[in-house]
Amino acid sequence: MTEDPDVVSRRIARESLDRDDPTGWFENLYAAAAEGAAVVPWDRGTAHQLLLEWVEESSPDGADKTALIVGAGTGWDAELIADRGYDTTAFDISPTAIDTAHHNHPDSKAHYRVADLLAPPAEWQHAFDLVVEIFTVQALPIALQPDAVKHVTEFVAPGGTLLVIAAARPDDQPDADIQGPPWPLTRATIQSFATADVRLIQLTQSPSPADATVLRWRAEYLRD
């Protein structure tokens, strides 16, 4: 009997985390999924619903603007943003995710790259008019999240927008109670994307359509 792909996915994550390798499991999971041996639980085959809603509400015009999609996975969110006219760069730590993105979107206008959020290219600092971060920070253990948040914020150019979509958890829930991945973000973590010149301008919390007990943040920030 073949193993349940969901069980395989969880085992791949656990093995890597137990080896103190907090990011190695992403490549292992995408590679196993490419062979049909696992499923990538977040791979929706479409852009995230909260990103779609933000695009509908904001009607952003990406002409002559740049965008960066953090932890882009197989590219569905990047394609939505590239279709709005942004010169879009999308990166992921997993080479197989990036290969799959190329395969999924052969005529894409987006630039897909392998890169590490925790050690990003220096030229990306303050370089993007729109930065979209969906579920990457929460996929990292809590001890790594402050560094990840700092890098996400630093990508935003003066006058640029940062959009963060994440699972939410109550501030009074102790870190030790969270058996990640994922490690959902507290309000304090959402507020920590804001700095002296990056302002939180909109914050909503809503239930996930898939599971109403799961709450999600949608946070929008603006760099002065």
Ligand X SMILES: C[S@@+](CC[C@H](N)C(=O)[O-])C[C@H]1O[C@@H](n2cnc3c(N)ncnc32)[C@H](O)[C@@H]1O
For ligand X, the binding residues (CB under 6 A) are: 23, 26, 42, 48, 71, 73, 92-94, 97, 116-118, 134-136, 139-140
Rounded to a whole number of angstroms, the minimum distance from the CB of residue 35 to ligand X is 17
d(CA 160, CA 116): 22
Minimal distance in Å, beta carbon 163 to ligand X? 12
Please, what is the minimum distance in Å from the beta carbon of residue 30 to ligand X? 7
Q: Which is nearer to ligand X, 196 or 209 (CB)?
A: 209
The pairing of strands 215-223 and 156-167 is: antiparallel
Q: Please, which residue, 159 or 207, has the CB nearer to ligand X?
A: 207
Ranges assigned E (strand) in 36-86: 66-70
Separation of alpha carbons 193 and 189, rounded Å: 7
Query: C-beta of 62: minimal distance to ligand X in Å?
Result: 19
Shortest Å distance, C-beta 211 to ligand X = 15
Identity of the residue, 23 or 61, whose beta carbon is nearer to ligand X in the bound complex: 23
User: Between residues 25 and 221, which has the closer beta carbon with respect to ligand X?
Assistant: 25
- Residue reference for tokens 């971060």: 133
Q: Are 168 and 184 in contact (CB under 8 A)?
A: yes
Q: Closest distance between ligand X and the C-beta of residue 196, in Å?
A: 25
Helices (H) then strands (E): counts for the chain: 7, 7
* For ligand X, the closer CB: 160 or 182: 182
Q: Which is nearer to ligand X, 45 or 158 (CB)?
A: 45
What is the per-residue DSSP string for 50-118?
Answer: HHHHHHHHH----TT-EEEEET-TTSHHHHHHHHTT-EEEEEES-HHHHHHHHHH-TT--SEEEE--TT
Q: Which residue is nearest to ligand X (CB)?
A: 71
Question: Which residues, in sequence order, are bridge partners of residue 67?
Answer: 88, 130
HSE-up of 151 (CA within 13 Å, CB side)? Answer: 21
